[in-house]
Chain A
Amino acid sequence: MDNDVQDEIATTASIDRAAGSTDKIRLQGASKTFHVRGQAIRALQPIDLSVQHEEFVALVGPSGCGKSTILNLIAGLLPTSTGTVLYDGQPVRDLNRHVGYMTQKDTLLPWRRAADNIRVALELKCRPTSRSEADEKVARMMDLVGLKGFENHYPSELSGGMRKRTLLGRTLIYEPETLLMDEPFGALDAQLKLVMLDQLQALTQQRRMTVVFVTHDLGEAITLADRVVVFSARPGRIRALRDIGLPRPRDVFRIRFTDVFARYHEDLWDVLKDEVTKGTDI
């Protein structure tokens, strides 16, 4: 068993996956340079990365390495400086409406109660939903993200973790085919984080979502992802790619105590720790 895993780790470091029709997202030489007060800051070196349909990819790296920039490129919030981003084979030019994006920043609408914040996507013309259907979906989502009883609280009356969960509910409720998540559970305590990871795994598996998940927590990445991508310190560049061959569904509460998990962790940590220490020089 241990040997098998060892082999798998060794052989699946291949970066070049056959560019087939299953590519949901494909970055081709995509880079990003920001211009701040006349100074060019290179956030992301040209990178190639493919995310397959229904794949769960975790991006790990030191802070400021351009992980969030990649999500912004995929969402179409930023244009690439060089290269292209393809979504379903089409270049992303304007806002990418196929993705649900849970940003690091709290973007809840402060004048809406928690339940109404979660509901907002169902009120849009592009997603005709009857009132009763919306009510039912919202109630189920409030329950799912553990906010039952807080329906009528305004964001200012919720804790940081509750706001994050409201954001998650708001993003999941309209079932986007691709989910972009930028350190979604960073502010949560360890126990709650595990509960959320469990829910996220169940939801994304059940709804067959493609997920690009940015985190600084390697354990979180291994627990959830089909593939972990480790980035270098700024300007970001892919340092390593690993397929995580852990069978699904994974027991997020216990998987971190297994030998297989420990091996993945050790292997990836060796790559990551060099970058993390480099990152602190900046």
Chain B
Amino acid sequence: MSDEVMTRTVALPGQTGTDKDDLAPESQEGMSARHAVIARIVIVAALLGAWEFAPVSRGIKFWLSSPSAILSTLWGWMVDGSLWAHLGATLSVMVIGYVIGCAVGIGLGLLFGFLPRLYRVLVPFVAAFYALPKIALAPLFIILLGIGMSSKVALVAITVFFLLLNSTIDGVRDVDRDLVQSLRLMGATRIEVLRKVLLPSALPWIFTGARISVRYAFTATLLAELIAANRGLGFLIEFNSGNFNATGSYAAIVVLVAFSVTLTEILTRLQILAAARRH
């Protein structure tokens, strides 16, 4: 949930900021958008310069690395194609796990909404598994499914599954019972009530769950790769750190930052798009 709050606080100021930029170049702080960008560039350039040209001994330089070394490492990875392989591995684990988790979570959530008695029987189990930090299952999945892709997909899927299950159940339980009753009186079957009332009513909850769980899927993928893997961004960080290759670790983290910024940006865009479609 704290993640959700964070998303909002991050997304909203950014959104209003861009609106303001479009309408009036001068914001309330008395600084135009262009000036803010220039200031950011200056700060980054100063930090990178200090990092690059810091007068330190060779020993310290080994641990500190430098932007030029990191860039050349990155370039090497791009040229030999290993970067794309690792990115692809991370992305496919995340996407496959996410899709499976969403599908099963939403499906089971609707089933519970459909069969409230079944839900009442199973609710303690659901609650117990929901409370469990899913990352604790990673070693278990590795001994069950090996260090390949499937153990990571399983971890991501189960993380996403519980988030979607809970938001779907919340959505279904929040439905106005009178709407259900009025459709039943019209002669709607249970399936029709599900399709015409429960699902549309739960949809905002499902979307929220789906949006939040992208970040959880990302974290779960990365953690699984850090624990045991032979491919992926997590592996890249772990592998380079393991070899005392600071430059390689920094380079992998740069990739990770780019990846998560892109992801956040896509999510924010989707969110704005969804909000615009709603009205």
Contact = CB atoms under 8 A, between A and B. Distances in A.
A97 B181 contact: no
Contacts of B192: 124-125
Contact of B178 (A105, A121, A124, A174): A105
A101 interface: yes
Interface stretch (B74-82, B183-191, B206-214): B183-191
Interface in B199-237: 200-201, 203
Contact of A109 (B184, B187, B196): B196
A103 B182 contact: yes
Given A109-B196, A109-B197, A125 B189 contact: yes
A95 B185 contact: yes
Nearest to A76: B185
Nearest to B196: A120
B182 A101 contact: yes
A103 B182 CA distance: 9
> Interface majority SS on A: helix, strand, loop or mixed?
loop
A209 to B, nearest CB: 15
Nearest to A72: B181
A75 B187 contact: no
B179 interface: yes
Interface SS majority for chain B: helix
Contacts of B182: 101, 103, 107
A282 interface: no
B60 to A, nearest CB: 61
A61 B188 CA distance: 33
Contacts of A124: 186-189, 192
A77 B178 CA distance: 10
A97 B185 contact: yes
A126 interface: yes
Contacts, number: 48
Interface in A115-149: 120-121, 123-127
B187 A123 contact: no
Given A105-B178, A107-B178, A111-B200, A120 B183 contact: yes
> Which of B176, B185, B201: most chain A CB closer than 10 A?
B185
Interface residues of B, number: 18
A25 interface: no
Interface residues of A, number: 21
B198 to A, nearest CB: 11
B205 to A, nearest CB: 13
Contact of B179 (A77, A109, A126, A127): A109
A120 B181 CA distance: 14
B90 to A, nearest CB: 37
Contact of A97 (B176, B187, B200, B203): B187
A101 B182 CA distance: 8
Contacts of B203: 111
B230 to A, nearest CB: 47
A95 B184 contact: yes
A105 B189 CA distance: 22
B178 A126 contact: no
Interface in A60-75: 75
Contacts of A107: 176, 178-179, 181-182
Q: Choose among B181, B183, B184, B200 the residue with the greatest number of A CB atoms under 10 Å from its CB.
A: B181
Contacts of B201: 111
Contact of A120 (B178, B184, B186, B189): B186
Contacts of A95: 181, 184-185
Contacts of A126: 187-189
Interface centre among B186, B192, B196 (most CB of A within 10 A): B186
13 contacts: A77-B185, A95-B185, A99-B185, A101-B185, A107-B178, A107-B181, A107-B182, A109-B196, A120-B196, A121-B186, A124-B192, A125-B189, A126-B188
Given A97-B185, A125-B192, A126-B187, 15 more contacts: A77-B181, A95-B184, A96-B185, A99-B185, A100-B185, A101-B182, A101-B185, A103-B182, A111-B201, A120-B183, A121-B186, A121-B187, A124-B187, A124-B192, A125-B189
Interface of B: 176, 178-179, 181-189, 192, 196-197, 200-201, 203
